Structure formats: C-alpha cells, structure tokens
C-alpha cells in the first residue's frame, strides 16, 4: 500500500488480524470526524438549518463540536453559532475551521465544472460538494477553487487495499439548483447530474402535432392549493400542458366538485378517483383540456380498487393511465402484495389495453429501478421502493413487457431524481430518488420528443415530470 495514502496515525501491528482491525477502526474514526466536519461546514453555509433542528439534534451537534450543550433551544443555537464564527444574524466571523486552515469555498457563486472521476480501485464512494456549499459527505481533503475554476474534490481513505475517492461535479451550479450537483455514493465515470436547462431538446415547431402531458404527486392537493408556494395555476401557465395527471391527492369524494370548479380554467375535463377504504388517503386524477373518448377507474379488480390508485382515459392515439402504486410500507408490510398481486395486475391490464392502441403509464410508481436512480443504493437495499423484489417486479411487469422508461431512454447516464424526503434537508442536498415515470408502449417510444423532470418545482416532496409526444 502506498505511503501517500496511508493514514499518518495508523501503525503496523505485529499480527495481521490486529492490523486489519485497527485499520478498519481508523477509517471509521476518520469517517465520523469528516462527516461531522462537513456537517458543520454545511450549517455554517446555511445557519438557518440550526433553527429547523430539534433540541436533541442540537445537543448532539454541540457534543461533537465540544460546545456546551446546556440551556434551551435558543441557547444551543446561540452557542453553536458563536462556535462557528457567526453572530445571531448569520454574519460570518472567524470559525474554528478557518483557524485550522481548511480550504474555504465562496458561499455564493456560479461555477462551470466538468465531470471528473478518479475511480481506479475496488470501490468508490462519492456524495457531493458544490462550488457554493458543501453537502454532507465523507471527505478528507478538499481542493478549493475560485469561481472560474473547475471544481473537483478528492476523498482518500485507507481501509486495507480499498480507496474511497472522487467527488463529481458537473454543470452550472448555484445555491438554487442543487439538482445540478451529482450526489451518489457509487457513481460510474460516465454519470452526470441532471440539468434540464441544457439537456432538453429544442421546442417542436408550431405546425408539429404533439401532446404535452404533465404528472405530479402532489402529496395532498388541498394543502398544496392552500399554502405551498408554486401552484398548479402557475404550472399550467408556465408549461401550457394539454393533460395533467395527479397522484396522492388525498381527496374525498364529497370535496371533488368544489375543487374541480376552481382548479384550472380551460381544463374542463377532469376525472377523479378517491380512496373509500381509508378516507383522505391516496387518490388520483386526470385533468385535460382535450375530451377523451372513454374513462375507466381502477383496474377492474375489487381488491385493488378501494384506494383510488388508477384512472385511465382513452384518446384518439393512445390510452393514458395515471397510477399511484402502493408503497411497500414500514417494515415492508405490503411488499408481498405489491410484487405478487398489484404490479402483475397493472402490467397485465396495460397489455390488454395495448391490444387496441398504445399505452402511456405515468405516476408515482414507488420504485427506483436502478442504482443510478437513488443517491444511496447500498444504504437503502431494504428500504421500501428499492428492494430487490420491487426492482425485479418493475423489470418483469413493465419493462420486460415492452414498456419503455422514457426518461432513461433519453438520458441513459443522467442522475436525475424526482423525490426528496422532507427530513434531513434532502432536497437542498439533492439526496433523492427517481420514483416517478412515464412508461410508453414500444411502438410509440420513438415519437417521444422530450421526457423531463421539473426539479425547481418544490411545493411537494415530488417534482412534476413531463412528456411531449409527437402525434
């Protein structure tokens, strides 16, 4: 092993077993210290994060920083900000990190950066560092850059013969566009982050017949309409879509008529299905300014149709389905139901429709299909939405039956997420999942002009996604 990457405080033991054990302990200690340091750097870049932390989390942070952890939340926040070299307004002073000489990155800037991956040993672990703010990573050394320089961070940790290294940053990055930073624990050299500003094709000419469909898991439509910033009205104005598909509306049948009347002008055709087995749960809808030929609710199987998870509309050229696929749930309680009953039923239903015309399925399918579709594959191997059973079911019941994942077809090496959990600041640090899809029959896959995500729309924990299909 090269002396250049050997930890300076590790010592060769007499016994090989002792050496390996001590080496592993050294890496663990390094990772803990590094993770803590980078969390502090992230908080230093955004002091408001302290206000959203619980008292328990603040006390744990003070313990790791060696700061007095006494008093109420206000006292803890004040003590932490003092330690970080900031006053109560967030103005920077002199921090412990600066005193120790660790490289600092300007807090607000845009920087063009290239994909750089150093991955020449058995494993690679990469999270993210932006030219503007550092997100929580396992990191040892950082090469600071000026705003005009390329941004590359190399991580070198010693664990027997395994080297963990390389941070990849690609594209134009600033505080408001975290999705343009590659955040993934095991990226491949060819992977790049999603940036719709530069990755979407030019618009079609006005004389080209096409349909634009948007899909969005709104995580509670009434709440979104009342209080969560970017609205469906703004989305319609900006995107000028023909059809909008919604999932997880959480509506009750008694409330639908009122919502329909006030939701969108010009979209006079709307079709809703609600959960009747559990009120205020699940729910899907299709809202269109084009009148469909037919409408169907559910899959035609009573056991699957009490939660309001599927609406199908038929247009001249295709069938369109919006679906909210059941989550495997806490403790994977519904995993067996999901992969042995629900997914096969939905896949067979789509194949039956396909006998008469092509099919488009969109919605929250609650599965990150491949490792590229989730920021931490290994850490979520038994998490609902990324179990091997769900991923295999996705392949078997949809892709192997001839339905094409349009985003992945258009962007085979792009890391783009559509869902970020509310906890742990996941959206801001781009620790996401791609759970939302447009799947289309193979017969119309080549007519897809664009399949895209709108990551800047953050009123829900999911972002909308769009499909433009030439007719």
CA distances to 100, 138, 225, 369, 374 from 381, rounded to whole Å, are: 38, 20, 35, 12, 10
Q: Supply the pLDDT for residue 238.
A: 94
Residue for token digits 């599927």? 310
User: Lowest mean pLDDT: which of 28-42, 153-167, 253-267, 345-359?
Assistant: 153-167
Dump pLDDT digits (tens) for 303-316. 999 999 999 999 99
Q: Supply the pLDDT for residue 406.
A: 98
pLDDT at 67 over 50: yes
User: Lowest mean pLDDT: which of 66-75, 121-130, 383-392?
Assistant: 121-130
pTM: 0.67
Question: How many helices and strands (H and E) does the chain possess?
Answer: 14, 18
CA 443 to chain centroid, in Å, comes to: 29
Of 12 and 47, which is predicted with more confidence?
47
Q: Supply the pLDDT for residue 185.
A: 96
Q: Supply the pLDDT for residue 54.
A: 81
Give 226: exposed, middle or buried? Use CB within 10 Å, 0-12, 13-18, 19+: exposed
User: Lowest mean pLDDT: which of 30-39, 62-71, 314-323?
Assistant: 30-39
Average pLDDT over residues 368-391: 97
Q: Which two tokens stand for residue 4?
A: 């250049």
Distance, in Å, from the CA atom of 400 to the CA atom of 395, rounded to the nearest integer, reads 6
Active site annotation includes 324: yes
Of 429 and 35, which is predicted with more confidence?
429
Which of 194, 267, 319, 324 is flagged as catalytic?
324
Q: Which two tokens stand for residue 469?
A: 């299909």
Strands annotated E in 69-115: 111-113
pLDDT at 153 over 80: no
Q: Supply the pLDDT for residue 232.
A: 87
Average pLDDT over residues 362-373: 98
DSSP 231: -
pLDDT at 115 over 70: no
Distance, in Å, from the CA atom of 249 to the CA atom of 246, rounded to the nearest integer, reads 7
Distance, in Å, from the CA atom of 228 to the CA atom of 232, rounded to the nearest integer, reads 11
Active site annotation includes 462: yes
Q: Supply the pLDDT for residue 111.
A: 37
Q: Supply the pLDDT for residue 228.
A: 60
């Amino acid at each position: 092993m090269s002396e250049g990457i050997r930890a300076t405080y590790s010592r060769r033991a007499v016994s090989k077993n002792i050496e390996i054990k001590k080496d592993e302990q050294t890496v663990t200690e390094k990772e803990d210290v590094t993770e803590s340091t980078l969390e502090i750097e992230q908080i230093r870049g955004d002091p408001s994060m302290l206000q959203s932390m619980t008292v328990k989390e603040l006390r744990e942070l003070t313990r790791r920083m060696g700061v007095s952890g006494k008093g109420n939340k206000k006292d803890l926040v004040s003590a932490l900000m003092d330690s970080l070299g900031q006053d109560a307004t967030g103005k920077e002073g002199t921090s412990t990190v600066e005193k120790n000489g660790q490289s600092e990155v300007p807090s607000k800037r845009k920087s063009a950066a290239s994909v750089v991956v150093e991955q020449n040993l058995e494993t690679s672990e990469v999270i993210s560092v932006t030219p503007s703010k550092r997100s929580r990573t396992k990191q040892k050394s950082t090469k600071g850059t000026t705003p005009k320089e390329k941004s590359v961070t190399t991580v070198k940790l010693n664990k027997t013969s395994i080297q963990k290294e390389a941070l990849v940053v690609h594209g134009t990055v600033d505080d408001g566009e975290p999705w343009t930073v590659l955040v993934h624990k095991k990226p491949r050299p060819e992977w790049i982050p999603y940036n719709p500003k530069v990755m979407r094709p030019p618009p079609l000419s006005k004389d080209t017949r096409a349909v634009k469909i948007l899909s969005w898991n709104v995580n509670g439509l009434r709440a979104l309409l009342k209080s969560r910033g970017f609205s469906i009205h703004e989305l319609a104005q900006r995107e000028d879509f023909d059809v909008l598909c919604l999932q997880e509306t959480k509506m009750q049948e008694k409330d639908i008529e009122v919502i329909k009347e006030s939701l969108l002008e010009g979209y006079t055709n709307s079709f809703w299905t609600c959960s009747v087995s559990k009120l205020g749960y699940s729910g899907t809808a299709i809202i269109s300014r084009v009148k469909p030929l037919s409408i169907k609710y559910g899959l035609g199987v009573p056991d699957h149709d009490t939660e309001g998870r599927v609406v199908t509309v038929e247009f001249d050229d295709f069938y369109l389905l919006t679906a909210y696929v059941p989550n495997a749930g806490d403790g994977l309680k519904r995993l067996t139901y999901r992969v042995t009953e629900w997914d096969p039923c939905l896949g067979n239903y789509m194949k039956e429709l396909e006998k008469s015309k092509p099919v488009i399925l969109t919605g929250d399918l609650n599965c990150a299909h491949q490792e590229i579709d989730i920021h931490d594959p290994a850490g979520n191997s038994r998490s609902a939405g990324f179990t091997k059973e769900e991923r295999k079911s996705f392949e078997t019941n949809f892709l192997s039956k001839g339905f094409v994942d349009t985003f992945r077809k258009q962007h085979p090496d792009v890391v783009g997420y559509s869902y970020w959990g509310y906890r742990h600041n996941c959206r801001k640090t781009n620790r996401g999942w791609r759970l939302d899809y447009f799947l289309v029959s193979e017969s119309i896959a080549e007519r897809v002009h664009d399949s895209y995500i709108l990551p800047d729309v953050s009123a829900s924990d999911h972002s909308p996604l769009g499909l433009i299909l030439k007719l």
